[in-house]
Structure 1
Amino acid sequence: MTRATAVRADASAPPAHVPLYEERIEAGDGVTLAASVAGERGRPGVILLHGAGQTRHSWRGSVATLGALGYHALAYDARGHGDSDWSPKPDYSYERLADDLDAIVRHMGCVPAMIGASMGGMTALHAIARTDEARARAVVLVDIAPRVDPRGLKRVHDFLHGHRDGFANVEEAADAVAAYNPHRPRPKNPRGLMKNLRLREDGRLHWHWDPRFFRERNDDARDRHAARLLTMCRGVTIPSMLVVGEESDVVNGKGIAELRAALPQLEIGHVAGAGHMIAGDRNEAFNGAILPFLECHPAR
């Protein structure tokens, strides 16, 4: 039986701050992955996986909150993103991304809960569904369905593929983000964006990801993967939750219904005032959505 949960944007504030520390983890093919971690090893584990074009820093508030609540929380940059290495081949298939997630699970030394946004949610489902071994004790999917609204997907695609010549300064990058997320207040000091930018040899700032990452993705491959993933999901029996931004233009009712048919145990949480990037738009409300779910499905 599924359970729907409405979450207000004024959800309770996170507990006291806990320090985050950095780790580098071998992925097995010469690539190392950069991770931010909070909490003590041996506590219930939680892995947070960002979406395409994001970094582990999008989970900073959630990692700190989970660490303060007694979890061992880890968010990492997917290969080709942030401070993680670029794939030498390149290989950015979901099979390879799931291999990386398996390496993170081994590093943590437990059966964790997984929280994945967009690409990260698809990676988590792929890793869980492709094996009979216990990869996760529960999974939270953030604003993702195997098939999404093509209009919202195009807007994401246009942003990720735009600005191939980079930016002259961080202010230009902030303008691009503000145009993509008009509902989110533009930061007074955009220097925080430097975590998502890299200065290249041309003297301009470019987004942190490997450009080859997005060249591997096309509509035919996406449709094939969606069909395969829906079939695989029918073997996933662990507790599952989908958190949807009420202002998202990516996930629609049809996609939710299709995912729920494949995952009958799926619980749904709606976050008011949030778009596709829920954790960035309404971090406290997002935490308010996932924490009761995690508490209901503790480590065994």
Structure 2
Amino acid sequence: MPASGTGYVATADGLRLAVETCGAADAPTLLFAHGFGQTRGAWGGTVAALAAQGCRCVSYDARGHGESGRLPDGADSKVGYHMQQFADDMLALARAQPEPPVLVGASMGGLLGLVAAGETRPPPFRALVLVDITPRWETKGVERILAFMQAHPDGFADYAEAAEQIASYLPHRTGRKSEEQLKPLLREGADGRLRWHWDPALLASGLVAESERYQPRLFAAAAQVDVPVLLLSGARSDVVSHATVAEFLQLVPHARHVEVAGATHMLAGDANDAFTREIASFIRTLDDAGARPGERIA
């Protein structure tokens, strides 16, 4: 793993994960895990700000996403993509840090963090920040995300067409993504068409359906989490709701919840300054309390 900059780390089954590190080598570590269909670029503004404030930030592209490796035969592989692989990758990265990191996980990344934190002893994380996700989620919100991911299998003629589709998907955001902003999110195929960075086999492999079957495991794991937890949700999210948040807070009574005004499920992109401030504030509470893995903050 690079001390600073971007490098690659091998997984247990031989794939390479693209890992980016910034901040002082001896600073407290934050491990950032993005959501399904995203890349480590989703954390850009927050990583830069927190590194400047004295944190060591490690972000990575999950398998099948961004610059990380793909399974050679995709959905046709005997192995295929499975949630446990993603959880094992996260756990290996956490254990590779100088000390247990704070895990910041969005959507899928947060669910994997719950599994790792609840099922592993000693805990692999110093604390958890869950970004707009709870063990039970609103199906309609997830269906909307998947519909967008599945909508353009033949890709786009150019970056302008891709930017138009993103603007339609996120109508609450002003302005459109530039070509430079889009380049990390798209790959040019042999036919010259631009397609999203993720492996299409992720959608064809049954991974999404598998996440529904994970829910009993997620509830059981969450009940065993014994490190400080911050749940950040978007006030306009269609993936979490007041009901799912209330259920989670009953399950994890020591968790703290903050709702970010104006933000949707894409919280870090919608309200990055507020999002970053809440994480920085949470980290200060850990430092003030001297929290270590296995210790709760009342």
Which TM-score applies when normalising by structure 2? 0.90
Select which of 159, 163, 176 maps to 2:148.
159
In structure 1, what is the equivalent of residue 202 of structure 2? 213
Select which of 23, 41, 54 maps to 1:57.
41
Q: How many residues align?
A: 281
In structure 2, what is the equivalent of residue 172 of structure 1? 161
In structure 2, what is the equivalent of residue 263 of structure 1? 252
1:33 and 2:17 matched? yes
**AA of the residue aligned to 1:55:** T
Alignment root-mean-square deviation, CA: 1.6
In structure 1, what is the equivalent of residue 296 of structure 2? none
**AA of the residue aligned to 2:92:** A
- Measured after TM superposition, the shift of residue 191 of structure 1 is 3.0
- Tell me, which stretches of 5 or more residues in structure 2 are unaligned? 293-298
Alignment of 1:70-149 (within 5 A): 70-88=54-72, 89=77, 90-149=79-138
Partner SS state of residue 40, structure 1:
coil
1:37-88 Cα shifts (integer Å, max 9, x gaps): 1112221110011111110001011111121111111110000000000134
- Measured after TM superposition, the shift of residue 223 of structure 1 is 2.8
In structure 2, what is the equivalent of residue 17 of structure 1? none
- For residues 219 and 40 of structure 1, what CA distance do their matches in structure 2 show? 37
- For residues 267 and 217 of structure 1, what CA distance do their matches in structure 2 show? 33
Which TM-score applies when normalising by structure 1? 0.89
- Tell me, which stretches of 5 or more residues in structure 1 are unaligned? 1-19
Q: Do the aligned partners of 2:28 and 2:55 also contact (CA within 8 Å) in 1?
A: yes
- For residues 223 and 99 of structure 1, what CA distance do their matches in structure 2 show? 19
Deviating more after overlay: 101-110 vs 229-238: 101-110
Select which of 233, 241, 251 maps to 1:252.
241
- For residues 98 and 189 of structure 1, what CA distance do their matches in structure 2 show? 33
Q: Do the aligned partners of 1:231 and 1:262 also contact (CA within 8 Å) in 2?
A: no
Identity %: 40
- For residues 253 and 285 of structure 1, what CA distance do their matches in structure 2 show? 20
Q: Do the aligned partners of 1:41 and 1:108 also contact (CA within 8 Å) in 2?
A: no
Question: 4+ residue stretches of structure 1 with deviation over 6 A?
Answer: none
- For residues 236 and 198 of structure 1, what CA distance do their matches in structure 2 show? 38
